[in-house]
Structure 1
Amino acid sequence: MRYHSLLPISALLSISVFSLLIHLNIMPSGITILEELKIAFAGYLYALILIIILAESIVYVGFYFPGQFFAVLLVVLAKPQWQDIVYLTLCMVVAATLGSGINYCLGHRLAKSNNAKKSLQKDGAQQEDYEETDEFSIKYLLIAMIHINSLAFYMFKQGEQNRPLKVVWFAGLLNLPYYLLLIFATSFLSEEVLQLAENTVFLITAISIWLLISGYLDYKKYRANM
């Protein structure tokens, strides 16, 4: 029996460990590393944007790097022209899509590994083909795209459930208007409003809500199997 609550629990543990290590000065904060990357990649804005968006889009790693917020600020501070905004948006979409692909493959690999172990535990049982399951839900994809970290876990789950790979490319298409709006929002809204999305308390609250919903689903599944 698989539990829906395992992923949010692991997410809470991950963000808690990162926060503790940073608080104890055992490791530098994500912002500190991003500032160093900014200096190292001076004059290579596109490469820097791609790296930091890719880093935040990978499952668990994204809790450490507030890359999306940092990247958009870099874009705005650079005072880009219209064509630059288009190129930078495409760069962000490519990075986010690569991250989604990595998360999907990680989930897919984990599921195959678990299935292989289960097949070995069955005496004389033949290993079943690992076939694709049902189509992905656009509704849940749109909900997951509220934040890049939630999208990372969504893609991981899609790979684990062996959903069609096209969910990765579809999310990439949806990211085009998303990042365009994000750049314009950063230009017109205050820094404090957008920084809310990268706030640790906000992330923990969102994951806690996810955990409560998952726990309820696990309870319903448990009752149904009794």
Structure 2
Amino acid sequence: MSLSPKLLLHGYSIGIFPMAEHRDDPELFWVDPKIRGVFPLDGFHISRSLARRLRTCGFTISINRDFAGVVDGCADRSETWINPELRRLYQELHRAGRAHSLEVREGASLVGGVYGVVLGAAFFGESMFSRRTDASKIALAYLVDRLRQTGFTLFDTQFLTAHLASLGAIEIPRAVYHSELKQAIDLKADFTADLQQTPQGVIQRITQTS
């Protein structure tokens, strides 16, 4: 299956997303889970240990400074569904302002991050990676805070993992997901809005509603 960025976005708009069997498989296929993983934006769980880590880690957070680096970090594992075709497509969506990354750095080194696709007020989380303890959890905390502050209503995680569940992600039926998706893509949100996100601010805003 050969995809264009336009067709890829259409797939997201109707609730499906592409994957490859592995990095060396040139073929893509659409996935439409009966049960969908989502992150309620008012339900992110910050444990005491994660709050302490947020305050003391010394990581710096940025958005869209190294989209390619985040995608490559996500693909840098023994098994990945990100093949060269998907990498190319996400790069094109990023250049078009439809895909974004959030980076976690330790000094000059990229040590974690997350990236996803945006349609309206829906953020489709694609993948994340971590090269330091809790780097992916910290990336998700900053991401949830950014999504909440910039008008998003749906954070799609595609599938529910134990890692995501421990942070507050849940599963919902396909029909419920499609209903929430339809509402979200008709709204407006601005992922790149200029925000001042400090560790304490992120903790306070998230814990006030979770």
- Same fold per superposition (TM over 0.5): no
- Structure with greater Cα Rg: 1
Q: Which protein is richer in helix relative to its size?
A: 1
Q: Which protein is richer in strand relative to its size?
A: 2
